[in-house]
Chains A and B, each alone.
Chain A
Amino acid sequence: MKNCVYYELRKTVFTRKNIIVVAVLALLMIGFLIWNERSFISEKKARERFFDDLGNVTGDELTDYLSSEEQKLYSKIFPDDGESGFDSSFAGKTGRYGISNVGEWALFKEALKIAEDIQTRNENISIIIQNPENFAVDSYYEEDNIFFSDTKPQTEFVRNSCFGWIAVLACIIVLAGSFSVEKERGLHSMLQLFPKGGVRMSLRKYICGIVVSTVLVISYALIYCIAQFIILGLGFKELGMPLFMIEGYEMCASGMTVGGLFGYTVMFSIAAAAVMSSVTMLFSKLIGRTVFAGIGSCIIYAAGIAADVLYMGVYGNEFTDNSGDWYLISAPTFYKIYNTEKGFNPLALLNNSYYFQQPRITRFAGGYYDAYIVPLIIVILSCFLCYIFLLKEEKNVK
């Protein structure tokens, strides 16, 4: 004899439609990754040779070498002979590493930026450490210098991290019918009568929903990881690279790694999925129609995303571009953004940038806490409120 939880999952989760949807979304994610990383795939071997060649050069010598090589190629591609500004025949010709000269110039430029970033980071840290009276010196400033390597695979790994969004969408689609399926089939009233129906059935559904959303996030994260490991040639060792080496992530705390960010993203994707699953199940119960419950949840989801996009547009530039120095984030600006936007939008947790655009601790009621505590509280409260509504006994009054 199978138990009620098994049947709860069979009824709404393990249906043919849901299995197809989950599989199609996974394939779409892989397709998206291949499309976005096609240039890296085509230049993979050339990049390996290029960075292998630079392996023995370090420090200022490396910066000087890269700068001079970049300048040499630039002057050949854009000769200032007074006739043409761009030498297309030279630019298109295959260079030392088996790709076009213009491609090699881009590689030198990219490598130069990596080298300069490391240099600037080390200089800034030494300033902070030498002036402890002006800065809140934390232990992570005193970490070792960073080695030079190709950051492109890690950059692609971080930038294309879409599994959280896809998992939440899958949760909405899978769980939209969790409560409405009975109403649509005329079984709802009958099932309320049984000893293990009613509130106990709602509780089972809710628990199943949360478990399913967790499993979906972890599954999509695994698929994402495996696909990226194959496409980008990454390994677990490469995930230990500091996050500030990733273009656009220069402001993050130095102790954060690419793998660490991935871990946080998985963790908070589960939180966001739990919130959206709760909202979806609540809609499913209140509206009683699968389609409308799904649409309603998607609207809430889109609103959460829109809020985050707004944040990036309105505050993001002020926050990043106008701040020339790493680690010198204005605390009032941070807290303004944090408290007004992120704190009330758990879906914003799905945005990777959230994890580096903030200090590691936050102040609340005179104490210092981990910066993630506020949105986490929001997540737990949202789930709890949905849970209360879901389990509210029906009055059976029409």
Chain B
Amino acid sequence: MKLELEGITKRYGAKTVVNKVTQSFTHGVYGLLGPNGAGKTTLINIIATVLKADDGTIRVNGKIAGHSPEYREFIGYLPQHMGYYNNFTGEEFLDYIWNLKNRKGEPSQVESLLKRFHLYDMRNKKISVYSGGMKQRLGIAQAIIGEPEILLLDEPTVGLDLEERAEFKRYIKELGEKTIVFLSTHIVSDVEETADEVMLMTHGSITERITSEEYNAMIAGNETTGLEEYYLGKVGKELM
């Protein structure tokens, strides 16, 4: 699959939040880094079709995607602030999302996802008793359900402990082998260890896009100590 963004622009009044973003993507993990207010979440939401761009086009395999149901079928989406129905159990929540996504009567993935995200033992408990980390895992599981071809994850590792985060990174790497995964986060290490490419976003524009090989080469050549220093250097700040 090939996803292309052409001149994507979004304005709120006089302020341009996303400014003529033109990029193309094939399968792999794409880390989206940038300071607060850079436009990361807005761009993710535009790709997810939650928001409509004022200008620009999204193309999938050369065809204009728009807000068509066919395009939306490709998408898995974890919003930045996700809530739950607290009277649902974890299993019910995933089953509900599966119901909403599944048009073709395919066999349910709920059980395998519950096991994959270590929620199986808690599947019959109300979400209201879940910890923050468990809720986040449930959110990731709902994004992945239905095997989307474009996965948009906005701050997915918030609330996860070290072990869960490590597991999550492994899973994302695995997904990136056949899926386009966008990972918008403040946690540079998440991107550093998973992303095939890193995009830096400032003032609504993608100002840098480097592959993992490129920044690994920079580290080897002592140009930078790591992605964090590289990122801070690009946004005009220094490590303390």
Contacts and interface: CB of A to CB of B under 8 A. Distances in A.
Interface string B38-53: 0000000100111110
B103 A396 contact: no
A132 interface: no
A186 interface: yes
Contacts of A1: 95, 98-99, 108
Interface string A4-16: 1001001100011
Contacts of A201: 100
B51 A186 contact: no
B99 A185 contact: no
A314 interface: no
Contacts of A189: 45, 48, 50, 79
A193 interface: yes
Given A1-B108, A189-B45, A195-B100, A16 B83 contact: no
Contact of B50 (A4, A193, A196): A193
A194 B92 contact: no
Contacts of A190: 50, 77, 79, 82
Contact of A397 (B52, B79, B101): B52
A89 interface: no
Interface stretch (B1-9, B65-73, B173-181, B218-226): B65-73
Given A7-B92, A190-B77, A194-B101, 13 more contacts: A1-B95, A1-B98, A4-B100, A7-B99, A10-B88, A11-B85, A185-B84, A186-B79, A186-B83, A189-B45, A189-B79, A191-B100, A193-B72
B112 interface: no
A196 B82 contact: no
B237 interface: no
B88 to A, nearest CB: 7
B75 interface: yes
B158 interface: no
A396 B87 CA distance: 28
In the complex, which range does the number of interface residues on chain A fall in? Answer: 20 to 34
Contacts of B88: 7, 10-11
Interface of A: 1-4, 7, 10-11, 15-16, 181, 184-187, 189-197, 201, 395-398
Contacts of B50: 189-190, 192-193, 396
B171 interface: no
A186 B69 contact: no
Given A184-B83, A194-B101, A195-B100, A398 B51 contact: yes
Given A11-B85, A15-B87, A186-B81, A196 B101 contact: yes
Contacts of A15: 87
A194 B100 contact: yes
A196 B100 contact: yes
15 contacts: A1-B98, A1-B108, A2-B92, A7-B99, A10-B87, A11-B88, A186-B81, A193-B77, A194-B100, A196-B100, A196-B102, A395-B52, A396-B49, A396-B50, A396-B51
Contact of B82 (A7, A10, A187, A193): A187
A265 to B, nearest CB: 34
A383 B72 CA distance: 31
A197 B100 contact: yes
Contacts of B69: 195
Given A190-B82, A396-B49, A195 B101 contact: yes
Nearest to A182: B83
Nearest to A2: B95
A195 B103 contact: yes
B110 to A, nearest CB: 8
A68 B35 CA distance: 97
B85 A185 contact: yes
| Top 7 A-B residue pairs of the complex, sorted by shortest distance between their CB atoms | A185-B83, A194-B100, A189-B50, A7-B96, A186-B83, A196-B100, A195-B103
B57 to A, nearest CB: 16
Nearest to B67: A396
**Interface hub of B72, B96, B102 (most chain A Cβ within 10 A):** B96
A187 B69 CA distance: 18
A354 B97 CA distance: 47
Contacts of A181: 85
A74 to B, nearest CB: 63
Interface string B51-68: 110000000000000010
